[in-house]
Copies of this chain bind each other. A is one copy, B any other.
Amino acid sequence: IVSRSVEGPIHRYTLAESRLRTHRLAHALGKLGVELGDRVGTIAWNTHRHVELYFAVSGMGAVCHTMNPRLHPTQLAYIVDHAQDKVIFVDLTFVPLVEAVWDALKNVETVVVMTDREHMPSTRLPVLCYEELLDAESEEFAWPTFDENTASSLCYTSGTTGNPKGVLYSHRSTVLHTFAMALPTVLSANERETILPVVPMFHVNAWGIPYVTAMTGMKLVMPGPGLDGTSLTELMNAETVTIAAGVPTIWLGLLDHWREHKISVPSMHTVVIGGSAPNRSMIDAFQSDFGIEVLHAWGMTEMSPIGTACRLKPSMLDASENERHTFQLKQGRAVFGVEMKIVDEDGSELPHDGKAFGELKVRGPWVCSSYFNVEKSDAHDADGWFATGDVVTIDPDGYVNITDRSKDVIKSGGECPDIAQAAVIGVPDEKWTERPLLIVVPKKDCQIKSEQVLEFFDGKVAKWWVPDNVIVVDTLPLGATGKVQKIKLREQYATK
């Protein structure tokens, strides 16, 4: 495990050494009063210390609750409070963030700063020093045994409606998900490979990659806070990274950096792209210009996250470059363990013919069954099917193609008094691949302007949640059951 630390230097150790520090950390957690089932929060970059927290917290039977530091402070406070985190671990970078929300946190007893004594900040928070905690403990620890369905980690999904909802992962779901991720048809994880997850550890456990490396002995390279083109490229080349995983936005920046400085990462053979779909020019750039195979994958926070991976079937290998790259725009086939079906608005199952589109429903051992600590917590129906909110086609070979999202209707419940109906669609964006466009219908006899609507968001949600633009219309196109027909909206507005 090689990690760019928040303090600056590169940290490097073996899995065996990591294990011993995990033992120390588990002792320390126990002394902080953490018990089976307690939530332990983290606000941290991808570093070796965060990996230690994953294994120590879950291994001792507590729940590792990773938090997105980019959330609006009020949402962050909501999440810490809702999860009832007893202890939170924060990177140096995020101490000011915790200071800002501290007065709103009722349950947190201890804040541990993930650094050594030398780098401890001065703060009004009741802080402890991570390295001091570990130094005081023994390297020997006997992991407790408990039911495999015990929760191991927790990630809140910002969703699209209401408050963030906590998705719990169990030891069972995590092990099964890790097996699936490691398969040759997904990451093909083995100890001859070196993987760098740019995808954050606070985002669905970095797609489970820290678990995959522990299962398979694959070398893990962690970028810490260095997510710019220079830092990433330097680290990738220094550690001969062969696989990197992240969202399109990161890759757009990296590709620009490579082109500008006429550099690349010759050791890299695969880039995993998820979170949102890569566009055709990104696939072309990686594969044709840099000789790096794109693995387009799709999943959700509620799916741990893997759902599909787009590995070409053998018959596609002889296709033209153009055909292959176009095909890779699809989200791919269900990984083993995930069942899929598409349904129309009445819930009737639709054929997998590559033409019929409907909402994608998924089922499987790492699909979330209920949300944490909420009423009406059921995430799936009586038969175990989880509605993804994605409108897709599935072709006869099982490849999923997302055509739209059915869930991104904002049910604002009258928060904005002049708006009767609203819908959001994704529109192509050069930098972010896709950005939200808000389409609103004013209430009868109301007049609203775009600016008014945008102002309404100020201070309520994270900036990147705010639509770039608002279009005011008279009516939204509705389907038979009264749902907004997003496809018609996209046809009309998304291509402009």
Residues of B close to A190: CB separation below 8 A: 183-185, 188, 311
CB 8 Å contact bits of A55-78 with B (1 = contact, 0 = none): 000000000000000000000000
Size of interface on A: residues with Cβ below 8 Å to B? 20
Residue in B closest to A180 when the chains form the complex, CB atoms: B179
| Bound Cα distance from A378 to B186, whole angstroms | 38
Copies in the complex: 2
Q: Does A314 contact B (CB under 8 A)?
A: yes
Is the pair B182, A191 in contact by a Cβ cutoff of 8 Å?
no
Given A216-B336, A336-B215, verify A313-B191 contact (CB < 8 Å).
yes
Residues of A129-184 at the interface with B, using a CB-CB cut-off of 8 Å, are 176, 179-180, 182-184
Is the pair B191, A188 in contact by a Cβ cutoff of 8 Å?
no
Is the pair A183, B185 in contact by a Cβ cutoff of 8 Å?
no
Looking at the complex, which one of B179, B216, B336 makes contact with A185 (CB distance below 8 Å)? B216
Looking at the complex, which one of B182, B189, B192, B314 makes contact with A314 (CB distance below 8 Å)? B192
Residues of A309-361 at the interface with B, using a CB-CB cut-off of 8 Å, are 311, 313-314, 317, 336
**Secondary structure call for the A interface:** loop
Is the pair B185, A184 in contact by a Cβ cutoff of 8 Å?
no
Is the pair B191, A185 in contact by a Cβ cutoff of 8 Å?
yes
CB 8 Å contact bits of A186-198 with B (1 = contact, 0 = none): 0011111000000
Residues of B close to A182: CB separation below 8 A: 183-184
Residues of A197-218 at the interface with B, using a CB-CB cut-off of 8 Å, are 215-217
Residue in B closest to A216 when the chains form the complex, CB atoms: B185
| Bound Cα distance from A179 to B142, whole angstroms | 27
Is the pair B314, A184 in contact by a Cβ cutoff of 8 Å?
no
| Bound Cα distance from A179 to B183, whole angstroms | 8
Residues of A256-307 at the interface with B, using a CB-CB cut-off of 8 Å, are none
| Bound Cα distance from A216 to B183, whole angstroms | 9
Residues of B close to A179: CB separation below 8 A: 176, 179-180, 183, 336
Nearest CB of B to A204, in Å:
20
Is the pair B336, A191 in contact by a Cβ cutoff of 8 Å?
no
| Bound Cα distance from A420 to B287, whole angstroms | 73
Residues of A456-475 at the interface with B, using a CB-CB cut-off of 8 Å, are none
| Bound Cα distance from A184 to B189, whole angstroms | 6
| Bound Cα distance from A184 to B218, whole angstroms | 11
Residues of B close to A313: CB separation below 8 A: 191
Nearest CB of B to A127, in Å:
38
| Bound Cα distance from A189 to B176, whole angstroms | 17
| Bound Cα distance from A182 to B184, whole angstroms | 8
Residues of B close to A184: CB separation below 8 A: 182-184, 188-190, 216
Nearest CB of B to A8, in Å:
29
| Bound Cα distance from A415 to B217, whole angstroms | 51
| Bound Cα distance from A189 to B182, whole angstroms | 11
Residues of A440-485 at the interface with B, using a CB-CB cut-off of 8 Å, are none
Pick the most buried of A184, A191, A217: most chain B CB atoms within 10 A of its CB. A184
Nearest CB of B to A215, in Å:
5
| Bound Cα distance from A188 to B191, whole angstroms | 13
Residues of A2-36 at the interface with B, using a CB-CB cut-off of 8 Å, are none
CB 8 Å contact bits of A216-251 with B (1 = contact, 0 = none): 110000000000000000000000000000000000
Residues of B close to A188: CB separation below 8 A: 184, 188, 190
Residue in B closest to A315 when the chains form the complex, CB atoms: B191
| Bound Cα distance from A190 to B192, whole angstroms | 18
Nearest CB of B to A36, in Å:
21
| Bound Cα distance from A191 to B188, whole angstroms | 13
| Bound Cα distance from A317 to B192, whole angstroms | 10
Nearest CB of B to A383, in Å:
10
Residues of B close to A215: CB separation below 8 A: 336
Residues of B close to A217: CB separation below 8 A: 185
| Bound Cα distance from A11 to B53, whole angstroms | 54
20 residue pairs A–B, Cβ–Cβ below 8 Å:
A176-B179, A179-B183, A179-B336, A182-B183, A182-B184, A183-B183, A183-B184, A183-B189, A183-B216, A184-B184, A184-B188, A184-B190, A185-B191, A185-B217, A188-B188, A190-B311, A191-B313, A192-B314, A192-B317, A215-B336
7 further interface pairs, Cβ-Cβ under 8 Å (given A183-B184, A184-B188, A190-B311): A179-B179, A183-B183, A184-B184, A184-B189, A184-B216, A191-B313, A192-B314
* Closest 5 pairs between A and B when the two form their complex, measured CB to CB: A179-B179, A184-B190, A215-B336, A185-B190, A184-B188
